[in-house]
Amino acid sequence: MHRPRRPWRRSKGLRAQDIRIGIDLGGTKIAGIALGPDGTTRAETRVPTPRGDYAGTLDAIAGLVATLEAEAGTEGASVGIGMPGAVSRHNGLIKNANSVWLNGRPFAQDIAARLGRPVRVENDANCLAVSEAVDGAGAGERLVWAVILGTGVGSGVAVDGQALTGRNAIAGEWGHNPLPWPRDDERPGPACYCGRRGCLETWLSGPGLAADHLACTGERLSGEQIVAAALQGEPGAAATLARYLDRLARGIAHVVNLLDPDVIVLGGGLSRIESVVAALPERIAPHVFSDAFDTPVRASRHGDASGVRGAAWLWGPES
Ligand SMILES: [Zn+2]
């Protein structure tokens, strides 16, 4: 099959010694990785997130960078950081982070000053998209749309291997769009913490799946338990999974009509179930405004490591 060249790979030569550090700043742990120019792991480590402690979070990241540089035998490596939320383009402060002690803080400037170098900070879903675009399930594709289906729901976009941030730094914030083509019994939809009703996240997150199953069957199961039961043929769980896939397909089709990505990459717990991923294209197709729909839908290649890997690749091969 013809694969397009990667235009972002031909701009400037790599320096052999370049080490890229990626940090994934999560709510419970901060993970770090040092990648060689070929994408191999030179060092990796993680520490618990100092929850609620802004200065402690800066300390922890600085400590991780020092550890990774020592292990990788380098100094002055590039540093990229992925986190939930974004740096506001309006005032440079963090917004929308569920690690709420970062919100309203000039985190990007503070960590750059602390590390004595420029630091790129991106939304974690964008990091997934970048990771998969550079050397994952979207490698060689120009426009990669990556969807995270986990405790929360979000997505990110990479164009030519680079994160598409957007004017308001919200490109890809799909989880708080409403479920498209809603049926009567799906309106107005569950209440979302963001203040709206019927957000995709309330349907497509693990807790959303569990809530739908509870509402329809009276049975209290986790998202993983529901999928496991469905795959074993339990009728109630199978019906819940079918509703879930139909809603996910509608949500995806809505974006396909807008963005028409070259590949759709799924991350998060549900993406690890092959039959779930395989079931999607035929459910997406009827909602797409096109005579044909042949966009590949793939599970992420790097899985949970895509957060750190994508953060490292924020300093792409061209930079
Ligand atoms: Zn919402």
Range 238-265 average pLDDT: 98
Q: Could you tell me the distance, in angstroms and rounded to a whole number, from the CA of residue 11 to the centre of ligand 1?
A: 40
Q: Could you tell me the distance, in angstroms and rounded to a whole number, from the CA of residue 15 to the centre of ligand 1?
A: 44
Determine the Cα–Cα distance for residues 33 and 305; give it in Å rounded to an integer: 9
Range 264-274 average pLDDT: 90
What is the predicted pLDDT for the residue at 194? Answer: 87
C-alpha triplet 112, 35, 40: angle, nearest 5°: 175
Range 232-253 average pLDDT: 98
User: For the chain, what percent of residues have pLDDT higher than 70?
Assistant: 94
| Residue 60 CA to its chain's centroid (Å) | 23
**308 falls in which pLDDT band (50, 70, 90)?**
very high
Choose among 168, 80, 175, 85: nearest CA to 130: 80
Determine the Cα–Cα distance for residues 42 and 72; give it in Å rounded to an integer: 5
Q: Could you tell me the distance, in angstroms and rounded to a whole number, from the CA of residue 178 to the centre of ligand 1?
A: 8
**Quick check: 285 and 306 in contact, CB under 8 A?**
no
pLDDT above 90: residue 7: no
pLDDT above 60: residue 2: no
Q: Could you tell me the distance, in angstroms and rounded to a whole number, from the CA of residue 180 to the centre of ligand 1?
A: 14
Q: How many Cα atoms occupy the beta-carbon half-sphere of 107 within 13 Å?
A: 34
Q: Could you tell me the distance, in angstroms and rounded to a whole number, from the CA of residue 119 to the centre of ligand 1?
A: 30
User: For the chain, what percent of residues have pLDDT higher than 90?
Assistant: 85
| Residue 221 CA to its chain's centroid (Å) | 25
What is the predicted pLDDT for the residue at 269? Answer: 84
The token pair at 145 is 């749309």
Are β-strands 78-83 and 20-25 bridged in parallel, bridged antiparallel, or unpaired?
Answer: parallel
Q: Could you tell me the distance, in angstroms and rounded to a whole number, from the CA of residue 57 to the centre of ligand 1?
A: 27
**41 falls in which pLDDT band (50, 70, 90)?**
very high
Q: Could you tell me the distance, in angstroms and rounded to a whole number, from the CA of residue 261 to the centre of ligand 1?
A: 24
Average pLDDT value over all residues in the chain: 92
Sign of CA dihedral 303, 304, 308, 310: positive
pLDDT above 90: residue 60: yes
Q: Could you tell me the distance, in angstroms and rounded to a whole number, from the CA of residue 204 to the centre of ligand 1?
A: 11
pLDDT tens per residue, range 137-184:
999 999 999 999 988 899 999 999 999 999 999 999 999 999 999 999
pLDDT tens per residue, range 120-129:
999 999 999 9
Range 111-118 average pLDDT: 97
Q: Could you tell me the distance, in angstroms and rounded to a whole number, from the CA of residue 197 to the centre of ligand 1?
A: 7
pLDDT above 90: residue 319: no
Q: How many Cα atoms occupy the beta-carbon half-sphere of 312 within 13 Å?
A: 31
